[in-house]
Structure 1
Amino acid sequence: MTKTEKRLDKVIRVALTQACELAKEHVHEFSWLTHTADLKKLPQSLKVSCYCKELPITAEQTQLISSLIIKELSAKDLAINVKAISFLKE
């Protein structure tokens, strides 16, 4: 991994950690999230998996979590398609 890729990975992790903490504050059922990405093929390779204690969660909760993720990544000049965010039961 190059230095640039390491920096980019850190930026992604920091943004997603912030989104995760905010989601935990607002959605009781939300537990944690993780991501996968090919750093050479961003943003199209970025995928985020959100884990919840119970599924299904409401459409409003799904929208809130997705918007938090999109907002935090956008603040770091990273784009993610809402279709790249999935919700799973832990």
Structure 2
Amino acid sequence: MTKTEKRLDKAIRVALTHACEQAKETVSEFLWLTHTADLKKLPQSLKIKCFFNTLPINENQKQLIVNLIIDELNTIDITINAKAISFLKE
């Protein structure tokens, strides 16, 4: 992994950690999130999985979490499609 890829990986982790903490504060069912990505093929390779203690969650909660993630990634100039974010029960 190159230095540039390491910096990018760290920036993604920081942005998603921030989104995760905000989601925990606003959606009681939200537990955590994880991601996978090929740093050479961003943003199309970035996939995010959000885990909840119960499903389904309502559309407003789902949209709130999607917006948090997209907004945080936008701060590091990564734009993803909402379809790259999945919602799962732990």
What TM-score do the two structures reach when normalised by structure 1? 0.99
Q: 1:85, CA displacement in angstroms?
A: 0.1
Indicate the percent of aligned positions where both proteins have the same amino acid. 72
Moved over 4 A (4+): none
Match of 1:2 in 2: 2
Q: 1:73, CA displacement in angstroms?
A: 0.3
Q: 1:17, CA displacement in angstroms?
A: 0.1
Q: 1:59, CA displacement in angstroms?
A: 0.3
Superposed CA RMSD in Å reads 0.4
Query: Aligned ranges for residues 46-57 of structure 1 at < 5 Å?
Result: 46-57=46-57
- Residues in 2 aligned to 1:8 and 1:51: alpha-carbon distance in whole angstroms: 24
Give 3-state SS (helix, strand or coil) of 1:68's partner.
helix
Gaps of 5+ in 1: none
- Residues in 1 aligned to 2:40 and 2:29: alpha-carbon distance in whole angstroms: 34
- Residues in 2 aligned to 1:19 and 1:8: alpha-carbon distance in whole angstroms: 17
Gaps of 5+ in 2: none
Give 3-state SS (helix, strand or coil) of 1:15's partner.
helix
Query: What amino acid is aligned across from residue 65 of structure 1 in structure 2?
Result: I
Q: 1:86, CA displacement in angstroms?
A: 0.1
What TM-score do the two structures reach when normalised by structure 2? 0.99
